[in-house]
């Protein structure tokens, strides 16, 4: 669905990073963890293409969604300047979601910096379902552990690391040695995806990853976000926007 929405609040978290809250009642009512939105918040045709963002959090009672973003180009520079009350066009929610099997009792969530943006929504929904949630986030600086406070307040077991010599998956592996996890979830990083696949094979848990890609349409029409997946030992092509963005990790790593 396409909605004309309104900015509720737009905050600079630290230099180059922001968090925007948007009033979008219909989208907040139906969005699921892992889904994303295509957005337009400028006048005219420059930039020409809509901008994709993962959904960082949803408040169904308030009818709002949150987007965590990094300023890296023209589109996000315009986003940083938006004020309360500004118009905000949204197409979404789009894509599939992180599967939360009712039988899962304990899950691990792994991410890095702003790339972990969709994982807060996942943690919130999992905790609402009564699951034991362990969150492992790494960043180059303490200030980039953006959702630390939210994870801690919602009751997740949170580990944040800024150690450049230690992969964040190592903290998950330490807990896997003494606890059974049903699934692990991650976003973006191919390095994290590959290492979680190793943990899946060793500790017998399921794994899911949300992929990042340049998108133009968000619905699979433009063929701009094609990725390779593996099914029955064969390589196939899939659209990150339409077939994902969430994929079982066994389809991403041979």
pLDDT tens sequence across 34-76: 999 999 999 988 888 899 999 999 999 999 999 999 999 999 9
Rg (CA), the chain: 18
Spatial CA neighbour of 159 closest among 105, 112, 207, 98: 112
Predicted TM-score (pTM) above 0.85 = yes
Averaged pLDDT, 89-97: 97
Can you read off the two tokens belonging to residue 164?
């450049």
Reply yes or no on whether the pLDDT at 226 is more than 90: yes
pLDDT tens sequence across 107-137: 999 999 999 999 999 999 999 999 999 999 9
Give the per-residue pLDDT at 182.
98
Give the per-residue pLDDT at 224.
85
Give the per-residue pLDDT at 223.
80
pLDDT band for 169, please (50, 70, 90 cuts).
Answer: very high
> Any alpha helices (H) in the chain, and if so which ranges?
25-30, 74-80, 119-128, 148-154, 169-176, 190-203
User: What residue segments make up the domains of the chain, in order of their start?
Assistant: 2-94, 106-210
DSSP-derived 3-state class of residue 37: strand
With respect to CATH, is domain 2-94 assigned 2.40.10.340? no
With respect to CATH, is domain 106-210 assigned 3.40.50.80? yes
């Amino acid at each position: 669905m396409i909605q004309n929405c309104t900015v509720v609040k737009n905050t600079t978290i630290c230099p180059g990073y922001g968090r925007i809250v948007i009033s979008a009642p219909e989208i907040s009512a139906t969005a699921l963890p892992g889904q994303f939105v295509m957005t337009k918040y400028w006048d005219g045709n420059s930039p020409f293409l809509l901008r994709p963002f993962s959904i960082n959090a949803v408040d169904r009672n308030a009818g709002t969604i949150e987007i965590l973003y990094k300023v890296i180009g023209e589109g996000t520079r315009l986003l940083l300047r938006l004020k309360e009350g500004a118009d905000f066009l949204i197409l979404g929610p789009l894509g599939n979601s992180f599967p939360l099997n009712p039988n899962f009792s304990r899950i691990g969530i792994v991410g890095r910096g702003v790339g972990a943006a969709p994982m807060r929504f996942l943690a919130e929904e999992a905790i609402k379902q009564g699951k034991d949630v362990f969150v492992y986030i790494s960043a180059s600086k303490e200030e980039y552990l953006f959702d630390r406070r939210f994870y801690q307040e919602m009751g997740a077991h949170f580990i944040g690391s800024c150690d450049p010599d230690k992969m964040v998956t190592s903290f998950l592996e330490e807990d896997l040695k003494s606890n059974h996890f049903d699934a692990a979830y991650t976003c973006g990083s191919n390095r994290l995806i590959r290492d979680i696949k190793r943990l899946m094979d060793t500790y017998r848990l399921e794994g899911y990853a949300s992929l990042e890609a340049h998108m133009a349409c968000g619905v699979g029409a433009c063929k701009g976000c094609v990725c390779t997946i593996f099914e029955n030992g064969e390589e196939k092509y899939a659209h990150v926007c339409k077939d994902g963005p969430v994929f079982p990790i066994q389809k991403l790593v041979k």
